[in-house]
Amino acid sequence: MNPSSSPNRSLNPTRGLNLYSTGNEVTWFSSTVDEVNELKPAKSKAFSISAQDQIYGTSSLKSRFSTHEASSEKDDSSDFTLVLPSNRMYIVIPGLMLSIFLSALDQTVITTAIPTIVANLDGGSSYSWIGTAYTLAQTSILPFCGIMSEVVGRKIVLYTSIVLFLFGSAMCGAAQNMLWLVLCRAVQGIGGGGITSLVTIVIADITPLQTRPYYTGCMGVTWGLASVMGPLIGGAISQKASWRWIFFINLPTGGLSLALLIFFLNLVPKPTVSFRVFLRDFDFVGIITITTGVVLFLVGLNIGSTTGHWAHANVLCYLIFGILCIAGFVVNEFYTTRTRIITPSAFKTLSLTSVMVTSFLHYYIVSTITYYIPVYFQNIKGDGPLMSGVHTLSLAVVSSLLSAVSGMGIGKLKNYRYPMIGGWIVLLAGTGSMIAIYYNTDISRTMGFLALTAVGTGNLFQPNLIAVQASVPPALIATSCSAFMLLRNMGASVGISMGAVIYDQQLTTLLKGTKYSAGLSYSQIASIPNVSEKNFVFNAYANAIRMIWIVNCPVAGVGMLLSFFTKQEKLSQSVTEYKEKDKGFKDAP
């Protein structure tokens, strides 16, 4: 087709591309000296965005959302031509995997080293904030990362996140008191949250839907391995060397990751946004309300779960005001005229809403198991921190392997719906089997139940993420991924806190009327002289943890039912390679 030969048609240059418009049809052409290559016409249904956004998968603050956002239908992602940058994937992917490894590792690496750290820094009762500061900062920064990556560019946010993480690691290693350590753990968490969010977004920017599951599977395996190795590395370092090396060890690894990405990561350019336009269009009310709400809510959950005083005024204030801020954020996103942090249009389809909710439920279950199974092994079976980590290997290793297998399967079959449904069915069976874990259950039998559960949890990591990315146009991937990860992390936080509530309440009820109380260690229980009383206390502790598994069953049942509402989108996209010499652009920021 020759644009110049048709009447009533205009050819308008815009940043090296030409917009070809005929009434309702909008088509973009790549403009070179010798040829005009026609790209696929864009259709307009649920998400009406600019043609340039459809090609590049990005958008400016001014044009990212249009007045047609209220429509409830959604364009298949295959309707968009995706321009991919040229990358040496064998270098870029390991660089991204290294950064994900560090972010995941620091969530668990301190668990076995906490007693040593607290003793060295005279931490006292503030020990829980060593872990909470990281996860709190990581979760609260997620909504900010997606929108900022569209304002200033993916690379700037990703590199800044890695630098913040490394700076926080260095300062944690140099900490001289608990306040210093907790504050620097928060800095680490901000960097870790940015890394987690941006790696997911960058993967979507540099890979088409049809091969993306392979790469997200690699990230899933990396995350799983880091979670497995974290407690083992932390315990070994704290026993054999100084606990400070738990943090210093991040520096060379993170530095290598940063260098690989700086020199080898290429991204397609996106429209720039002036500072004036940023101030005019950015949703400051939205980012303040969601960040404040998440922080208040998670702080309330942490204080309530660690003290057990859920009815205290300070805990209730944190929770109530946190919920009110989150509710205010939701209302603001529906009515604001500024660029939304999370577009409500992404939740107007039952399919995508079910994926978001199941991601919350999935991580609720994952967090309760990974957090309280070590408690079972240590308090009921008498394991030390390292042996407890060994006994949970079946959970972590199987989950990691299934995450990779699931990603490869989705890439091969071009279908994420069936793996998702299958994962929830197996997870329901696994959570049901864990109800059979009593105080005298063989460890090998327990590890078998954990392996079955891990097949379900591991199988769900990739389908959920791919479903989100396949259900929205490229221009909405960044904010949709941020919403997905925010709900996922919130599910984990709620799971840990609810597990504490269930455990404490059940244990208090079971020990009521006896001379024994909650908070006994394995050695204290084992030293009870009366055998029947000792077995009774062991059984009470085991049944208190068992109640967590009982609650997980209906949660898994709801997740399984919701998975049937997930719609299968076509996992294919028209792809063209971005060439800087043809387009006249410099590399993306």
Q: What confidence tens digit (pLDDT) does each residue in 381-424 have?
A: 888 767 877 888 888 888 888 888 888 888 888 888 999 999 99
pLDDT at 473 exceeding the cut of 60: yes
Confidence of residue 550 (pLDDT cuts 50, 70, 90): very high
Question: Tens of pLDDT along 308-329?
Answer: 787 888 889 999 999 999 999 8
Report which listed range, 362-366, 476-480, 512-516, 518-522, is most confident.
Answer: 362-366
Is the pLDDT confidence value at 124 over 80? Answer: no
- Tens of pLDDT, residue by residue over 97-107, are 999 998 888 88
Strands 574-577 vs 81-84: parallel, antiparallel or unpaired: parallel
Give the E-state strand segments of 4-62 in sequence order: 10-14, 17-22, 25-31, 36-38
With vertex at residue 195, the alpha carbon angle to CA 194 and CA 198, rounded to the nearest 5 degrees, is: 80
pLDDT at site 50? 37
- Tens digits of per-residue pLDDT, 147-161? 788 778 889 999 999
pLDDT confidence of residue 4: 41
d(CA 296, CA 572): 41
**Helix, coil or strand: residue 209:** coil
The C-alpha atoms of residue 233 and residue 385 are separated, in whole angstroms, by 11
Q: What value does the mean pLDDT of the chain take?
A: 78
Contact between 48 and 473 under an 8 Å Cβ cutoff? The reply is no
CA distance 92 to 158: 13
Q: What pLDDT, in 10s, does the model give residues 490-514?
A: 888 788 778 888 888 888 888 888 8
Q: pLDDT exceeding 90 applies to what percent of the chain?
A: 24
Pairing mode of beta strands 17-22, 25-31:
antiparallel
Examine the pLDDT at 72 and tell me if it is beyond 50.
no
Determine the pLDDT at residue 552.
Answer: 95
Percent of the chain at pLDDT > 70 equals 80
Q: Which of 33-42, 165-174, 373-382 has the lowest mean pLDDT?
A: 33-42
H, E, C per residue of 352-420: HHHHHHHHHHHHHHHHHHHHHHHHHHHHCCCCCHHHHHHHCHHHHHHHHHHHHHHHHHHHHHCCCHHHH
* Stretch 47-60: mean pLDDT: 39
Lowest-confidence segment of 125-134, 206-215, 389-398, 490-499 by average pLDDT: 125-134
- Tell me the per-residue pLDDT of 281-290, one tens digit each, with 9 for 90 and over: 888 898 889 8
pLDDT given at position 325? 93
Residue 357 has pLDDT above 50, yes or no: yes
Higher-pLDDT residue of 186 and 493 is 186
- Residues 285, 290, 292, 296: is their CA dihedral positive or negative? positive
Length of the chain (residues): 589
User: Does residue 21 carry a pLDDT above 90?
Assistant: no
131 has pLDDT over 80? no
DSSP 529: S
Residue among 364, 84, 407 nearest 219 (CA): 407
pTM for the full predicted model: 0.75
Return the pLDDT at 309. 80
